Structure 1
Amino acid sequence: MTESEAFSEIRIRPATPADLPAIGRLAAMLVRVHHEFDPDRFIPATPDTERGCASWLGSQLTTSSAIVLVAEHRGAVIGYSYAALEEQDWMVLRGPAGMIYDILVDPAHRGGGMGRLLLDATITELEMRGAPRVVLSTAARNESAQRLFARTGFRPTMIEMTRECTSRSPAPPL
């Protein structure tokens, strides 16, 4: 099968309630991967993670500022993205923006451009809704995602740093 034939079988579309079990499975995968990257920073998956993620993302399907897209291959959901329009945020010193919170393609379908298709569709949807810029975060160890984002024009703008609080490493007095 040629790459163009494979792409012809991919459909990027808005998610529906029927997609939520597959989205929950993929979102739980995202939770597990992040926890493996840094178990102190990222929450672990639990037996309820799939259901919880599906419920949360399901609540976003009817939120006017939110975008939940799926990548479908031969009728099966193989990826999803979750993004939203946000107003100016004084806390993070950011103007209005489209925020991409989640984007994931099932590992069995990676490497063939599916992530790029899903990312491009998400960016296009944010732009069509008036986003003046698109902002996302990526785990420091997720180098493959960082390469994808850089190829599509994203640039580093912030670095999150985490410090665990323990009795052995007290903060300096104020």
Structure 2
Amino acid sequence: MTVVAVHPAQPPFDEVVDLFDAYRVHYGLPAAPAATHRWLTEQITAGRLGVAAGVRDGRVHGFVTSSVLPASLLLGTAWMVRDLYVDPAHRRAGIARDLLRHVVDEARAAGALRVSLQTETGNTTALSLYTRLGFQPVDGLRSLNLPLAPG
């Protein structure tokens, strides 16, 4: 498998859009391919989101998105894995592992201080992968959200 950075002007982008929309549907949202295409284009073009695709046999089978955040106290940067999804027909083949390693390698090369991610506490498959790759729980922190709009 090959991991490639994805930009809206490149051919794998449309396949990533389709898989990203399937990811949204997986989490109970209605399919919205045109809106997904617009949103991903905007996020990538504005530099708010990096996207990489796992390609095997000329087809996209998974993707990862990440953002670069300031690490204020240490005067550096941290990378955050925002989304990770592998087509269900291609799971358990090392695609998610390779996508995560790609982000970690890119972050390390950019001089980032850490890579963070979050997932649901019941997602044991993902948690097992993350811990095998060296991610550790952060004790003493609590994730809080303030909803501003429906959605």
TM norm structure 2: 0.78
The answer to whether the Cα contact below 8 Å between 1:24 and 1:52 also exists between their aligned partners in 2 is no
**Partner of residue 72, structure 1:** 55
- Structure with the higher strand share, 1 or 2: 2
Q: Say yes or no: does 1:125 pair with 2:106.
A: yes
Distance 1:73 1:126 in 2: 23
Quickly say closer, same or farther: Cα 1:140–1:161, change in 2 above 3 A.
farther
The alignment of Structure 1 onto Structure 2 pairs a total of residues equal to 139
- Alignment pair present for 1:46 and 2:30: yes
With over 3 angstroms needed to count, the CA separation of the structure-2 counterparts of 1:32 and 1:73, relative to structure 1, is: same
Q: Pairwise mapping of residues 12-161 of structure 1 onto structure 2 (< 5 A)? A: 12-17=3-8, 18-34=11-27, 44-48=28-32, 50-64=33-47, 66-88=49-71, 96-157=77-138, 158-160=141-143
Distance in 2 (CA, whole Å) between partners of 1:32 and 1:67 is: 21
- What are the superposed Cα offsets for residues 37-56 of structure 1, whole Å, 9 maximum, x if unpaired? xxxxxxx41232x3333322
Conserved? CA contact 1:60–1:68, under 8 Å: no
Look up the equivalent residue of 1:138 and give its one-letter code: T
Tell me by how many angstroms 1:22 deviates.
1.9
Deviation, 1:84, is 1.6
Which AA in structure 2 matches 1:24? V
For 1:88 and 1:153, locate their aligned partners in 2 and report how far apart those are by CA, in whole Å: 20
Mind listing any 5+ residue stretches in structure 2 that lack a counterpart?
A: 146-151
Contact kept, 8 Å, 2:4 with 2:54, in 1: the verdict is yes
* d(CA) in 1 for partners of 2:107, 2:46: 14
Superposed displacement of residue 15, structure 1: 0.8
Aligned-pair identity in percent equals 27
| Higher-Rg member (1/2) | 1
SS of the residue corresponding to residue 51 of structure 2 reads strand
Query: Structure 1, residues 77-100: CA drift from partner, whole Å, max 9, x if none?
Result: 11111102101369xxxx731011
For 2:3, give the aligned amino acid. Answer: I
